[in-house]
Amino acid sequence: MESEDETATLRRRVLDANKYWGLFISEMQHRQSLAELRRLKASQDSATEDERQRIARQLHDYLQPTLVALRLNVAAVEQQAGLLSSEAAEASARALALCDSAILSARLIISGLLPQIVDDLGEHGATEPMP
């Protein structure tokens, strides 16, 4: 039969083992949570990047050509400024300036939507193969 000291020592060892087992389980759960958090962050980053690319593509493919066509039409009217009244010629010049401003704004918005690597490395660096 075990002595009381041996029983107490055995109980302490069991309690210590349970405590360490609980710490181990907590650590494993923590690691799993961190891995899940990293996975969710990567998924969010991917979705954000996809949306940025979609918006930039739509601005580039639809808005910018429309603005350029509008500018060309206004420029054609402005070339006829001698045939227009002074008010019409001034309005044409203002419309041309607004078209230029809108085209520049669209370009700035599109460049702001480019992937971060283009911002970091420039267009040439972002398209070069990695060493």
Q: Is 81 helix (H, G, I), strand (E, B) or coil?
A: helix
- What's the DSSP call for residue 59? I
Cα angle: 90, vertex 93, 96; to 5 degrees:
150
Whether the predicted pLDDT of 41 surpasses 90: yes
- Per-residue pLDDT of 98-127, as tens digits, reads 999 999 988 888 888 876 666 565 555 555
Whole-model pTM over 0.75: no
Residue ranges of the domains in the chain? 4-127
By the 8 A CB rule, do 80 and 119 touch?
Answer: no
By the 8 A CB rule, do 100 and 67 touch?
Answer: no
At residue 28 the predicted structure's pLDDT band, cuts being 50, 70 and 90, is: very high
The amino acid at residue 129 is: P
How confident is the prediction for the chain on average, in pLDDT? 83
